[in-house]
């Protein structure tokens, strides 16, 4: 009887552990480790300082935070390939985020994020890609045609 109760408790704890792990949504940019309360995505290695200026962390997708700072960065790269493969497996891999309550739809290969308030565009992989309050996705050629300039003067590759 005692073994049955212990095995049931072990199974229940496994289900609880797997249910508590949040999965990265398909609309998130590759490498996303968190969702901010204002709807923007965060892609840093640690939870410390994540979503600063974005009302804090709503959901954390990255590796569990640990007390040792040395183990947190090591755990984050292990999660990045899993997050990237789950995003690739999704039918609609659309990097999207805005600092508003709604995430901006779109993005993808060959798309840049245009910050309409600063007239600057950001390339995929840039920390501001899809994360500014005002903006939209478009091709780099369209952005240049409409008078937007590259962030720090660097064109996308």
- Secondary structure in 3-state letters for 108-127: CCCEEEEECCCCEEECCCCC
CA-nearest of 78, 77, 97 to 26 is 97
Per-residue pLDDT tens over the stretch 41-67: 877 778 888 887 888 888 888 765 444
83 shares a domain with 140 = no
Burial letters 6-38, b for 16+ CB under 10 A, else e: eeeeeeeeeeeeeeeeeebbebbbbbbbbbbeb
62 shares a domain with 117 = no
Domain annotation covers residue 74: yes
Rounded (5°) CA angle 59-56-124: 70
Per-residue pLDDT tens over the stretch 69-122: 343 344 334 444 444 444 444 444 444 444 433 444 567 778 898 999 999 998
Range of the domain at 123: 111-153
User: pTM for the full model?
Assistant: 0.35
Determine the 3-state secondary structure of 13 from DSSP. Answer: helix
77 shares a domain with 28 = yes
Domain annotation covers residue 96: no
Domain annotation covers residue 5: no
Domain annotation covers residue 78: yes
Residues paired with residue 34 on neighbouring β-strands, in sequence order: 42, 60
């Amino acid at each position: 009887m005692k073994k049955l109760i212990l095995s049931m408790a072990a199974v229940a704890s496994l289900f609880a552990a797997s249910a508590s792990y949040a999965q990265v949504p398909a609309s998130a940019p590759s490498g996303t480790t968190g969702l901010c309360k204002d709807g923007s995505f965060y892609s840093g290695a640690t939870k410390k300082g994540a979503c600063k200026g974005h009302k804090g962390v709503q959901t954390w997708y990255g590796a569990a935070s640990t007390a040792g700072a040395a183990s947190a960065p090591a755990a984050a790269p292990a999660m990045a390939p899993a997050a990237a493969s789950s995003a690739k497996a999704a039918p609609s891999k659309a990097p999207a985020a805005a600092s508003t309550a709604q995430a901006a739809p779109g993005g993808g290969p060959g798309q840049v994020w245009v910050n309409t308030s600063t007239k600057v565009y950001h390339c995929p992989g840039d920390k501001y890609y899809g994360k500014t309050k005002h903006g939209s996705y478009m091709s780099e050629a369209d952005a240049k045609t409409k008078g937007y300039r590259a962030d720090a003067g660097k064109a996308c590759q």
